[in-house]
Amino acid sequence: MKISFAEPALPAKGAVVVLVEEGKKLSPAAKDLDKQTKGAVKRAIAASKFVGKKGQSLEIMVPAGSSLDRVLLAGTGKAFGELEQQALGGNVVGKLMNSGSAEVTVIVDAGAKDLTAAAANVALGARLASYRFDKYLTKQDNDNGKPTLKAVKVGVKGAAKARKAYAPMDKVADGVFFTRDLVSEPGNVIYPESLAAQCKELTKLGVKVEILDEKKMAGLGMNALLGVGQGSVRESRIVVMSWNGAAKSKKPVAFVGKGVTFDTGGISLKPGPGMEEMKWDMGGAGTVIGLMKALAGRKAKVNAVGLVGLVENMPDGKAQRPGDIVKSMSGQTIEILNTDAEGRLVLADVLWYCQDRFKPQFIVDLATLTGAIIIGLGHEYAGVFANDDKLADQLFAAGTATEEKVWRLPLHDNYDKKLKSDAADMKNIGGRDAGSITAAQFLQRYVNKTPWAHIDIAGMAWSKEAAPTAPKGATGFGVRLLDRFLADNYE
């Protein structure tokens, strides 16, 4: 989608969107349009239920003699804040994407004090909503789902200022799109080596990318991670991405992602129905990779490392068995009672390696870790666990600001006790109760004393329903959350 900014003026062609504040208060552009059309705008409003509430829109007849495609009124609601502005941009694209119009002009001239910021947010929402993953639809044409909308022009007084405010947001959207692309790809296309190759692409933006192969990992003693991948014909990988945007002396912030490129459950095989969904079990890694792209793209003033543990969990003659005992890089041994609790085994070694090598200010890990988090929180909030209140609070605030929401759940020694094993230092499952918490307790054993937060995104990485700023499918959840978390607290 081509996004541009211009001084506000009713266009001669394409579609046009004008704002109406709640209570039928017409924006200057809406008033102009009403005058030009001898009262058609007010008449249309009077004959409808449209009052300008947020999310509301009303298409009105194109005036006779006009060369416009269509005219849309969009409600700003009572408080036209950042998130409402983004949602409005997204809703406009959602409405017009397949409408036949190729271009839309949205005139942002009411509802907010800072109209240039509002315009930038409308543009961001529009871009985020325009995402499509249709590369495998070979028969798509104009009568069959192919998008027609190609360009969104935002009309605002002080367009240059809006353009400047939007520039870094566009880079964040690039990161979100990269995550969505990676998560959408099926398991035959995205596997550890090919996903590592995708990470390599970030070198073009100035990210340092280092790939650890199985030999290297074996030398480091990463048997927890390697055990998960041993049933797959695809070799496992760890990718370390570094973005250095601050002084060399500054300790990095660190992000770790679960990258199970396909999770069959292994020998503890998952049931057939819905198993295809486990192609997005690399969602945590996808978010970390997209975040690195966003940070490098907008040249964030922070030193950040992103580490992803990439494995495929398959049943096979060589696969890990229930009852196997492995020694992790940390030296702690693990009795594997369920090969489907594999994410924590991967993260155990990557978390340990991360704190050991980088001594970061903190680690935030992201993982599609447990089905139980979906039972608890559904698809509204991701679960967050932390050994540090400040981190948890900062993540909560960034979640509220971006609408990528996180809700904190507890950690406690009494949950940790559920991991006790008779045969090894711990087992990899803690029983049915509080499954997301015992999984987090397991991870905590591998972060040493580092301030750490774990975000369980199992309910958030993929959506079966479209949202204003995301079509259904891979959401890219976490990129905007963590970008904001860094911008607000660490740059």
- Residues annotated as catalytic are 270, 344
- In the list 98, 99, 332, 338, the residue contacting ligand BES (rule: CB under 6 A) is 338
Q: Does 404 bind ligand BES (CB under 6 A)?
A: no
Q: Does 306 bind ligand BES (CB under 6 A)?
A: no
Q: Does 341 bind ligand BES (CB under 6 A)?
A: yes
Q: Which is nearer to Zn ion, 344 or 418 (CB)?
A: 344
Structure tokens at 301: 């003033």
Candidates 339-347, 378-386, 410-418, 481-489; binding stretch for ligand BES (CB under 6 A): 339-347
Query: What residues does 14 pair with on adjacent strands?
Result: 68
Contact set for Zn ion, span 343-372 (CB under 5 A): 343
- In the list 34, 340, 416, 483, the residue contacting ligand BES (rule: CB under 6 A) is 340
Q: Does 89 bind Zn ion (CB under 5 A)?
A: no
Contact set for Zn ion, span 270-299 (CB under 5 A): 281
Q: Which is nearer to Zn ion, 235 or 281 (CB)?
A: 281
Q: Does 456 bind Mn ion (CB under 5 A)?
A: no
Q: Which is nearer to Zn ion, 87 or 351 (CB)?
A: 351
Q: Does 187 bind Zn ion (CB under 5 A)?
A: no
Q: Which is nearer to ligand BES, 161 or 379 (CB)?
A: 379
Contact set for ligand BES, span 444-473 (CB under 6 A): 458
Q: Does 109 bind Mn ion (CB under 5 A)?
A: no
> What residue 148 binds from ligand BES, Zn ion, Mn ion, none (CB within 5 to 8 A, per partner kind)?
none
Contact set for ligand BES, span 260-289 (CB under 6 A): 263, 281
* Per-residue mark of binding to ligand BES, 349-378 (x: CB under 6 A): -------------------xxxxx------
Q: How many residues bind Zn ion (CB under 5 A)?
A: 4
* Per-residue mark of binding to Mn ion, 252-291 (x: CB under 5 A): -----------x----------------------------
- In the list 93, 429, 434, 474, the residue contacting ligand BES (rule: CB under 6 A) is 429
Closest CA to 264 of 286, 282, 279: 279
- In the list 32, 82, 324, 340, the residue contacting Mn ion (rule: CB under 5 A) is 340
To ligand BES, the closest distance from the beta carbon of 345 in angstroms equals 10
Contacts of 152 (CB under 8 A, 6+ apart): 1, 2, 3, 4, 89, 92, 93, 103, 104, 106, 123, 126, 127, 130
- Strands of 253-263's sheet, edge to edge? 208-212, 237-244, 303-313, 253-263, 363-367, 452-456, 382-386, 406-408
- In the list 21, 174, 185, 263, the residue contacting Zn ion (rule: CB under 5 A) is 263
Q: Hunting for tokens 């070198």 — which residue is that? A: 203
Closest residue to Zn ion: CB criterion: 263
To Mn ion, the closest distance from the beta carbon of 343 in angstroms equals 6
Q: How many residues bind Mn ion (CB under 5 A)?
A: 3
Q: Does 342 bind ligand BES (CB under 6 A)?
A: yes
Q: Does 23 bind ligand BES (CB under 6 A)?
A: no
Binding residues (CB under 6 A) for ligand BES: these are: 263, 281, 338, 340-343, 368-372, 429, 435, 458
